[in-house]
A and B are shown apart, each in its own frame.
Chain A
Amino acid sequence: MKRLLTIMRKEVRHILRDPLTLLLILALPASLLILLGYGITGTSTGVTMGIVDFDKSDSSRAYVERFTASNDFKLTHDLQNEEDMVRKIETDKMDIGIIIPESFERELLTNGSANVMILLDGSGNPTDVSTAELKLTAISEMANQDLILKKVDVSGQARTLQMPINTTVKTLYNPNGNARLYMIPGLIPIILQVQAILLAALSIVREREQGTMEQLIVTPIRSWELMLGKIIPYLVVCMLNLLLMIWMGDFLFGVSVRGSVGELVGLSAIFILGSLGMGVLISNISKTQMQAVYISVFVVIIPAIILSGLMFSRESMPDFTYWYSELLPVTQYLEITRGIIVRGVDAATLLFTSTLPMVIMSVGYFIASVFAFRKHL
Chain B
Amino acid sequence: MNQAITTQDLSKRYPGQKKKKAIHAINLSVPEGSLYGIIGPDGAGKTTLLRILASVLPQSSGKASVLGFDTKRKAEEIRKVIGYMPQEFSQYPDLSLNENLNFFADIQGVAKQDKQERIDKMLELTNLSHFRQRAAGKLSGGMKKKLALSCAMVHNPRVLILDEPTTGVDPVSRAEFWALLSTIVKDGVTVLVSTPYMDEAERCSMVGILYDGQILKEGSPEALTHALPFSIIELKAKPRKQMREVVAQTEDILSWNPVGDRLRLSVAEDKERQVRRVLERKIKQQKLDLQILRSARKTMEDVFVSIVEEQSQTTDQTSLEKSATQTSQKDQNP
Contact = CB atoms under 8 A, between A and B. Distances in A.
Interface of A: 2-3, 6-7, 9-10, 13-14, 17-18, 210-212, 214-221, 377
A3 B80 contact: no
B76 to A, nearest CB: 6
Given A10-B92, A17-B94, A216 B56 contact: no
Interface in B40-91: 51, 54-57, 76, 79-80, 82, 84, 86, 88-91
B144 to A, nearest CB: 11
B67 to A, nearest CB: 14
A217 B82 CA distance: 12
Contacts of B86: 211, 214-215
B93 interface: yes
A210 B136 CA distance: 13
B126 interface: no
A221 B55 CA distance: 13
Given A3-B109, A10-B103, A13-B95, A217 B55 contact: yes
Given A3-B109, A6-B106, A212 B76 contact: no
Given A14-B95, A18-B94, A219-B79, 13 more contacts: A6-B107, A13-B99, A17-B95, A211-B90, A212-B92, A215-B86, A215-B104, A217-B55, A218-B55, A218-B56, A218-B84, A221-B107, A377-B56
Nearest to B58: A376
Contact of A215 (B82, B91, B93): B91
B79 A215 contact: no
Given A14-B94, A212-B90, A214-B56, A220 B109 contact: yes
A2 B106 contact: yes
A221 B104 CA distance: 10
A215 B57 CA distance: 12
5 contacts: A6-B103, A7-B107, A14-B95, A218-B55, A219-B107
Nearest to B95: A13
A227 to B, nearest CB: 14
Contact of B56 (A6, A10, A18, A217): A217
A220 B105 CA distance: 11
Nearest to B55: A218
Given A6-B107, A214-B90, A220 B80 contact: yes
Nearest to B106: A6
A186 B270 CA distance: 90
A377 B107 contact: no
Contacts of A221: 107
Contacts of A215: 84, 86, 90-91, 104, 151
Contacts of A3: 106-107, 109
Contacts of A377: 56-57
A66 B117 CA distance: 87
Contacts of A9: 103
Contact of A220 (B76, B89, B94): B76
Contacts of A211: 86, 88-90
A218 B79 CA distance: 5
B151 A220 contact: no
Q: Which 10 A-B pairs have the closest CB atoms?
A: A6-B106, A211-B88, A215-B90, A211-B90, A218-B84, A214-B86, A219-B107, A17-B94, A220-B79, A217-B56
Contacts of B95: 10, 13-14, 17
B116 interface: no
B71 to A, nearest CB: 11
Contacts of B76: 220
Contacts of B54: 218
B108 interface: yes
A255 to B, nearest CB: 38
